[in-house]
Amino acid sequence: GQREAATREAMAAHALAPDDPAIAIQAARLLQGQGDDGPSRAAKLLDGYVRAHPDEQAVRLALARVYLADRQLKPARATIDAALKRDPDDPQALFLSAHAAYQAKDLGTVRSQLIRYTDLPDAARRKLDRRAVTRAEIEGLSGLLGDDDHQLI
Predicted TM-score (pTM) of this structure = 0.80
Q: Residue 73 in contact with residue 100, Cβ under 8 Å?
A: yes
pLDDT digits (tens, 9 = 90+) for 96-120: 999 999 999 999 999 999 889 888 8
Phi-psi bin for 133: left (phi > 0), alpha (psi -120 to 50), beta? beta
9-13, 42-46, 128-132 — which is least confidently predicted?
128-132
pLDDT digits (tens, 9 = 90+) for 65-97: 999 999 999 999 999 999 999 999 999 999 999
Most confident of 12-16, 50-54, 108-112: 50-54
Residue 142: predicted pLDDT: 55
Q: Compute the distance between CA of residue 55 and CA of residue 144 in angstroms, rounded to an integer.
A: 32
Which residues, 6 or more positions from 64, have their beta carbon under 8 angstroms from its beta carbon?
Answer: 76, 79, 80, 83, 93, 96, 100
